[in-house]
Amino acid sequence: MILSRRRLIQAGAVGAGGLLLSGCDRLTRKPEVLDFLGQAEDLHRVTQRGLAGDALAREFSESQMSPTFRANGSLAVADPVYRAHFAQGFSQWALRVDGLVAHPLMLPLSALKAMPQRTQITRHDCVEGWSAIGKWTGPRLAALLDLARLRPEARYLVFHCADLYGGRPYYESIDLVEAFHPQTILAWAMNGQPLEEQHGAPLRLRVERQLGYKHAKFVTRIEAVASLAGIYGGKGGYWEDNGRYAWYAGI
Ligand SMILES: Nc1nc2c(c(=O)[nH]1)N[C@H]1C(S)=C(S)[C@@H](COP(=O)(O)O)O[C@H]1N2
Ligand SMILES: [Mo]
């Protein structure tokens, strides 16, 4: 995938810790960074061509879309920081990408929308026994990871969310095979409209080969980690920590 850094810069994307994305062009001339980039590209190839890593979830036509799409889990977010962003139409909101990455990022919605977009009509399967077909649009997670550049130790991505469910923070995690999968996107639109709050505004994960609870809504931060052991209860997700559902939720 060719990603235009210039477009991102125009859209106002800046790296965390004062590192401007425009610095990337200078950085990529350094041999150690080029070496790093090579490793990331190897990783990308391996994960995309890997054993069962590249099977696609079924995609549907417009006529097959569900007339109504149920919302489930948290339907609203009480957090005051989230409420302030909501009131501003998320114009000042930014997604943080950090942890085991060479270039931590703060990506405003405008930057996420300026990246190449993928639209897919897929079926959402909730473990509670309902399904719905909807259309989702957003950049591939792989494109964000190409910008942030995972360090070689990174094994999982943790999705931190703005909501509390039953009083505890909702979170989820996936491995790098799912992360680089072509249908894994960060959706800001559903059925052609910006996400409604109940469906995870302003940004949610779509990880189409996995059950509904893996599709983190209200995502605020993506953290690359070597192990899930140190994160909340250590089992990689809200329901996993609860002992309710398994970490691997492949359909
Ligand atoms: N942050 C957050 N993400 C979440 C949940 C939640 O409660 N909080 N519920 C999960 C579950 S169980 C499902 S089925 C889907 C529901 O997505 P929907 O509300 O868009 O149908 O979101 C998932 N992601
Ligand atoms: Mo669910």
Q: What angle do CA 100, 181, 60 make, to 5 degrees?
A: 145
Q: In the predicted model, is pLDDT for residue 1 greater than 70? A: no
Type of residue found at 2? I
Whose tokens are 């639109």? That residue is 189
Q: Looking at the CA of 166, which ligand is closest?
A: 1
Tell me what the mean pLDDT of segment 33-57 comes to: 56
Tens of pLDDT, residue by residue over 121-152, are 999 999 999 999 999 999 999 999 999 999 99
Q: Among 27-36, 98-107, 123-132, 210-219, where is mean pLDDT lowest?
A: 27-36
Q: What share of the chain has pLDDT > 90, as a percent?
A: 78
Mean pLDDT of 47-66: 80
Quickly state the pLDDT bin for 159 (edges 50, 70, 90): very high
Q: Which of 44-48, 94-98, 224-228 has the lowest mean pLDDT?
A: 44-48
Ligand 2 ion: nearby residues, β-carbon < 5 Å: 126, 212-213
Cα(210) to centroid of ligand 2, in Å? 11
Neighbours of 220 (CB within 10 A): 21
Q: Is 93 in the pocket of ligand 1 (CB under 6 A)?
A: no
* Region of residue 243 (left: phi > 0; alpha: psi -120 to 50; beta: else): left
Q: What is the pLDDT of residues 231-248, one digit of tens each?
A: 999 999 999 999 999 999
Please name the helix (run of DSSP H) or strand (run of DSSP E) that holds residue 112, with its range, or none: helix 109-114
Q: How far is the CA of 204 from the centre of ligand 1 (A)?
A: 9
Non-local (6+) Cβ contacts of 183 within 8 A are 56, 57, 118, 120, 122, 206, 207, 208, 209
Whole-model pTM? 0.84
For range 36-49, the mean pLDDT: 49
Residue for token pair 């061509």: 49
* Residue whose tokens read 């405003």: 108
Find all residues with CB under 8 Å of 51, minimum gap 6, and list them: none
Check pLDDT > 90 for residue 182: yes
Indicate whether residue 245 lines ligand 1 (CB < 6 A): no
Structure token pair of residue 61: 């036509």
Q: Give the residues across from 125 on adjacent strands.
A: 131
Q: Which ligand 1 atom minimizes the distance to the CA of 126?
A: 14
For the CA atoms of 95, 211, 128, 86, what is the dihedral angle to 10 degrees?
Answer: 10
CATH topology of domain 5-241: Sulfite Oxidase; Chain A, domain 2 (3.90.420)
Domain locations in the chain as residue ranges: 5-241
Distance (angstroms) between ligand 1 centre and the Cα of 159 equals: 12
Average pLDDT over the chain, rounded to whole?
A: 87
* Cα–Cα distances in angstroms (integers) from residue 10 to residues 16, 23, 44, 172, 194, in the given order: 17, 14, 26, 31, 21
Note the pLDDT of residue 19. Answer: 35
